[in-house]
A and B are shown apart, each in its own frame.
Chain A
Amino acid sequence: MNMTTALARLLIFPGLLFAIPAAWFILWVERKAVALMQGRIGPPFMQPFFDFIKLLGKDTPPRDGIGGMLMKAWPLIAVSAAAGAVGLLPVLPSSGGFEGDLILLLALLEVPSMCIIAAGFSSRSIFGEIGSAREAVLSVSYNIVFLLAILSIAASQHTFSLETLAQLPASPLRWLGVLALLVCLPAKLHLNPFSLPNAEQEIYSGPMTEYAGPELAMWELSHGLEWVAATGLVATLAAPHVAFGWLAIFIFVAFSFGIVLLLSVVASATARLAIDTTVRFYWQVTLIFAVLAISSALLVRFRS
């Protein structure tokens, strides 16, 4: 991947130019689906875009010192990292990529979460700090499973390149890994039943409590981009590989849409769990599952 293609992927497709509208669309689909399942009307199609524009036009309270600068920096870092993660997705067949881009994608996907933790603590609000502490605990719980699931997929197919993974036919072990990834997505995207860090009605919006205006708009955008990257990652791993450009894009979008709907159903069917239950769920139930996946992946690898 040379500099031009890298920039094109980051800025145009599947990067910012595609990913930002996609992020708004996914946010709308999630909100609308949850609303319909709860017997409400739900937001109009353009609502996430309106929200973004409205927030951009608002003022933020002046904040002095390092704390204020950090509070401005965290959302920007989160957005850039999430956009970078989206840019790495191999939506188009033979679109480049390099050995190890899966690891880079995982690292970039983790950055917004760390920024949220840091933002909550730099805001020095009690709600922000509680939210950040919850996010930190949650992140430690689901990430083990998330990483093990990815590792098991990579180990079973002998590669860390997303492009190669997308082209290889899916093995039963990969499906096990994809399932484990799906279990982690609600926690990664702060959806019910794992919406602890931004628990509304409880700690306001957790780390975002002190944010307003353009900074909050950036957080919303980074959340949307995280949605695109996370659903895109699962769609890449789960969708069948086709050689035609448009068909590939269509399948990718359809799979992402299906994942968003699935997560919305889970979100509206469940209530928020307490932090100890969540941690127990990931450490006791899902971890065993992920360890099984990775150990069988390694076994298969050494026997072949």
Chain B
Amino acid sequence: MNILAMLWKNLWGGSRTMLFPARPKVTENYRGLVRFDPALCSGCAVCKMRCTAKAIDFKSGKGEFTWSYDPGQCTFCGRCVDGCKAHALHQESACPPVYTTIGELKVAYTVARKPPAPRPAPPAAAPADAKEQAAPPAAGGTE
């Protein structure tokens, strides 16, 4: 009769419900609010494309871009973080805060575009046949 023992324990163990200001403990890998580091962002807008909840918006301007994030719409799926090659996004390991007005937690960053990185020198022309000139080094260079 394990269930009866469990009920008895619950009956005297008090409730597990937390009253408002208290928040549950979270694990290290908890997926909370998305944090943005403008210094690392390359402005590729992959995060916007990956965001199915439309919480991330990206507007491109002249010589700059605006990255904005609305936690109210975020589902904390972490797809933006996974897709960010420049590691400019990460998720807080804390419960999202409670807020009372719509858009209170919304953040926007306007970041100046970095000058394109100088193209690496093309690899020395191989004397061998053209089959070896595959795409990977070239693709890496555009990043």
Contact = CB atoms under 8 A, between A and B. Distances in A.
A269 interface: yes
Interface stretch (A1-9, A34-42, A85-93, A287-295): A34-42
A40 B7 CA distance: 11
B62 to A, nearest CB: 55
A265 B15 contact: no
A22 B16 CA distance: 29
Contacts of A36: 10-11, 15
Contacts of B13: 39
Interface string B80-101: 0000000000000000000000
B121 interface: no
B3 A269 contact: yes
Contacts of B102: none
B124 interface: no
Contacts of B14: 39
- Bin chain B's interface residue count: 10 to 19
A265 B17 contact: no
A125 interface: no
Contacts of A41: 15, 17
A263 to B, nearest CB: 13
B126 interface: no
B11 A40 contact: no
B11 A37 contact: yes
B60 to A, nearest CB: 47
Contacts of B17: 40-41
Contacts of A268: 7
A219 B55 CA distance: 44
Contacts of B16: 39-40
Nearest to A265: B7
Nearest to B3: A269
B4 interface: yes
Contacts of A265: 4, 7
A268 B3 CA distance: 9
A30 to B, nearest CB: 14
A17 B71 CA distance: 52
Interface of B: 3-4, 7, 10-11, 13-17
Given A35-B15, A36-B11, 11 more contacts: A36-B10, A37-B7, A38-B10, A39-B13, A39-B14, A40-B15, A40-B17, A41-B17, A269-B3, A269-B4, A269-B7
